[in-house]
Amino acid sequence: MEESAHVDRTLDCKGLSCPMPIIQTKKAIEAMLVGEVLEVLATDPGSVADMKSWATRTQHEFLGTVTEGAVYRHFIRKGQKESAT
């Protein structure tokens, strides 16, 4: 994770199970500008692999995950274009 990454928007997905964190992330990213960073807060352990996979598949930059207790903080930079959902 880039410690210096500026977060432009934070999305709270705590308490949501798969696939809801990804669905909410997709909606949030669509409303952002290219290059902006989204922080996603999640408690679903499956979100760790899911966020990285989704970001790669949709051509966004997965910056990393920071674990703080039971909360996973995922950081994604919006890419130039989305190729898949």
Helix axes 47-57, 20-30, angle to 10 degrees: 40
Distance CA 4, CA 67 (A): 17
Catalytic (active site) residue 13? no
Provide the CB-side half-sphere exposure for 83 (13 A, CA). 9
Catalytic residue among 18, 20, 23, 41: 18
Residues with catalytic annotation? 18
